[in-house]
Structure 1
């Protein structure tokens, strides 16, 4: 194994600036002799101090280029290009739609035209900018009338200068939030939105943020089995991706008493039975039967309804406490890294807000695997680790999980103490 660069385990070890300074000083003395003093104010040391940061940046660029070839370690545009080779593209942000009412105090003396593209905004606050919307159709405030309703849509990132973080989910605003004109409309006194924007129950489109790197990677990983329709992995992938509220999926074959089919177990407390049934019907092969104590109605392409059976799992909360002894190389965000590693192994919502499937339903929680996620973070010297289903009764042993249970954890259930 080489000391720096690509390692045998597939990682990349770059040389840091302090190491570069030390190595350059040692190499300089090897060439010209040990009697040369590299004092802080000497020309030789000044040269080393000037060149070392540049070389360190080259090492960083080499490391970034190496990891860019693996989608798991890529980010941003690198990740987009990696997964584009597999036919995947990132889900873009989506602007919320809604309606506003333009009004005046007195009846209009003449018809007042309000063209499409008229920009209205929310009020600016200390914590957020004014969020802009535009009318998508032209409307007319007729003579003798005092108000008219127009459809609106939040501006796209390329249509405004405000940051994209305010143009996705943030465009779903409450009623009476849009009250300002970007430019005054002659003959119109006020504007407001009587209903919340993005309310799908009212037929509006809900605003959505651009898919993050973590969400993009997870969606790609969960879809890898989709091409193998009717395999157990494909059925699990299809059902897991059928609804946002499905947290975990287990699939088992059934071979008993002449029956042949599958039993699908889901951890999905907020997902309707019919949605799970539809996902199951869409993923399994014809001729296979579905088994389970729960059922829902699914619809075939020709409109024929079928009853699909499945099982619902119960969530088992897993609590983790780790007392760490660390070195100076322990990163400032080391606690979050450890927490995320544990959550991704077991399953649950990590610090990035993404819910990871983790272990399959019925899988036991192995403490050595939790220990591994802790020790993966640089600077961890020693760890005293305990896990359990009761925060007041933790132990250093594995946790048994029943066939109809799903182990899950989260940021609040994982406690990391740096001693």
Structure 2
């Protein structure tokens, strides 16, 4: 029912109880309403279908509220505030091709990693006099699996005698899975403070709406002198994890107050409505390398590839790239690497009796304490920085 306290759905058992009471009221207390009687079967049949209707009514009611809406209903509520769910995206990057000078590598040529992640060339590439050319490639499948490490794309899917070798000199980026309801709702809540303008919260909120931006923080220096981090007086500094530089700069320019400097290590030129160029600065989040050492006591149910699975669980939690070249988002800016959560991740793998784990900054002494991050830092780890000993 719907009253001042909200909507409360009647369930199958509630409907049976109500209909049994009504049957006794109409036909007497001794009416036969057991499960095998005609009236009992009829009551349960109607209750089953009515329960479905009550469930639909509850979903209709909940779809009016962001924290209870699901799926497309959540999308439509967020649209009212100008926020759209981040869709799945294909990773992209550059490929360096070596081969016969003057040979034209046609658009659509496929390259792949040793684990079978396919990339397609998006333009014709003519090899120069040295037999070298570069071109843009896009992963054929969306998702994080396309975010592969440097020099991992080394195979020409359809071998050609005019192509001797290929590689990716930089990591491919931009691949992501479709934003889940939980992730979308969290980002929506973070943007609630961004309905105004010219505030650090509103700038951050707009940055979080951009495709590919995992996290952002905006720091202002309101003093008349540079602050301890070297930020100029009367300036703002945006620290962003992921996203396109041009889109980030446009958002900062549109949201910041007039006369306030947008300071950062990256400078991007944008144009105002009058066509005048404006230099907008922002900084990328500092990626802090983490190292982990484990000693695992296993039993007979420990899988053959258990060590690989253990490393994958740790990378999924912290963030980074696994042995197959797949990248995971992991922790956001400023989030602490929690020791107990790492232990819990390891125990997700079957066949582990006991674990001794050490964690810390790469190149420093490891321990059993949490690893804290500055608000402009984000923890990252590679499979090569996870040492696992199984006994």
TM-score, scaled to structure 1: 0.46
